[in-house]
């Protein structure tokens, strides 16, 4: 009689349980990395204690502490990018509705879960690994914005478009950093509205480029 290499516990298969433990560790890593103030540093032991798991379970999903930190950051960015793109895609057909929908999703996501905002934008949370991840995520969001601009305005990719998208993404990141640390005194609605106006003012150049083309 053949036996499955994955045992079943309480009706839940081993791979399922492994995925659940990985999710617990990701949440624990976000708790530690996104903690307010001088929270405890991210360590293998600390993440396991936060997740309520024995240390041996850590290594079935992650090689070390840096691997967990990278996975946490990528998980947060993937969720933000996916939900923002969905919000833009399902918004009304005009550009204001699409811009506002994307910005509302970003601001709401980091506002409702400050851990995510601190992980993505806090200047006090820095390491070579996170610095590289932030650079990579900026490029990702610039590429997504560029793709949306090409589709909406019917323009082609160009260095001008790339410059503009990087400028917008970088400016938004700085604005969100100031908002999260309390130096930019706007509520969520005001932040979204003001950023929408800035986006539309810059995007006017896209419309001009399309008309000239």
Tens of pLDDT along 25-83? 999 999 999 987 766 789 999 999 999 999 999 999 999 999 999 999 999 999 999 99
| Overall size of the chain counted in residues | 213
Rounded Cα distance, 15 and 97, in Å: 42
Q: How far is CA 36 from CA 32, 51, 52, 104, 109, in A?
A: 9, 18, 21, 23, 17
Give the per-residue pLDDT at 207.
62
Residue that has been written with the tokens 């947060």 in this structure: 76
Rounded Cα distance, 62 and 71, in Å: 9
Give the per-residue pLDDT at 2.
44
Cβ-based neighbour number of residue 82 at 10 Å: 10
Q: Which of 174, 158, 167, 159 is nearest to 203 (CA)?
A: 167
Give the per-residue pLDDT at 39.
65
- CA 123 from centroid of its chain's CA atoms: 16
Give the per-residue pLDDT at 210.
54
Angle of helix 65-90 relative to helix 95-112, nearest 10 degrees, comes to: 150
Residue that has been written with the tokens 């934008």 in this structure: 121
Give the per-residue pLDDT at 125.
74
Give the per-residue pLDDT at 135.
93
Task: Provide the β-strand partners of residue 7.
Answer: none
Give the per-residue pLDDT at 3.
44
In the chain, where do the E strands start and end?
A: 8-9, 12-13
Q: Which of 87, 81, 71 is nearest to 139 (CA)?
A: 81
Residue that has been written with the tokens 């624990």 in this structure: 28
Give the per-residue pLDDT at 10.
53
Give the per-residue pLDDT at 138.
95
Q: Which of 193, 148, 147, 202 is nearest to 170 (CA)?
A: 202
Contact 200, 96 (CB under 8 A): yes
Query: Side-chain half-sphere of 59: how many Cα atoms within 13 Å?
Result: 3
Task: Provide the β-strand partners of residue 9.
Answer: 12
Q: Give me the residues of the chain with pLDDT under 70, please.
A: 1-12, 14, 38-39, 207-213
3-state DSSP assignment of residue 119 = helix
Cβ-based neighbour number of residue 169 at 10 Å: 20
């Amino acid at each position: 009689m053949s036996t499955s290499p994955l045992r079943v516990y309480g009706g839940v298969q081993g791979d399922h349980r492994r995925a659940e433990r990985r999710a617990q560790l990701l949440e624990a890593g976000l708790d530690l990395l996104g903690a307010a103030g001088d929270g405890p540093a991210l360590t293998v032991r600390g993440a396991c204690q936060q997740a309520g798991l024995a240390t041996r379970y850590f290594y079935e999903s992650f090689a070390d502490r840096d691997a967990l930190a990278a996975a946490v950051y990528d998980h947060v960015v993937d969720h933000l990018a996916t939900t923002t793109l969905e919000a833009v895609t399902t918004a009304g057909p005009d550009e204001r509705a699409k811009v506002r929908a994307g910005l509302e999703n970003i601001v709401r996501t980091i506002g409702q879960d400050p851990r995510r905002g601190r992980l993505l934008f806090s200047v006090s949370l820095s390491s070579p690994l996170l610095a590289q991840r932030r650079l990579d995520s900026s490029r990702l969001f610039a590429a997504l914005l560029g793709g949306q601009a090409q589709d909406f305005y019917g323009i082609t990719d160009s260095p001008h478009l790339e410059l503009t998208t990087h400028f917008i993404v970088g400016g938004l990141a700085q604005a969100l950093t100031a908002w999260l640390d309390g130096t930019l005194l706007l509520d969520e609605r005001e932040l979204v509205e003001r950023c929408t106006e800035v986006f539309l003012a810059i995007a006017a150049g896209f419309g001009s480029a399309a008309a000239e083309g």
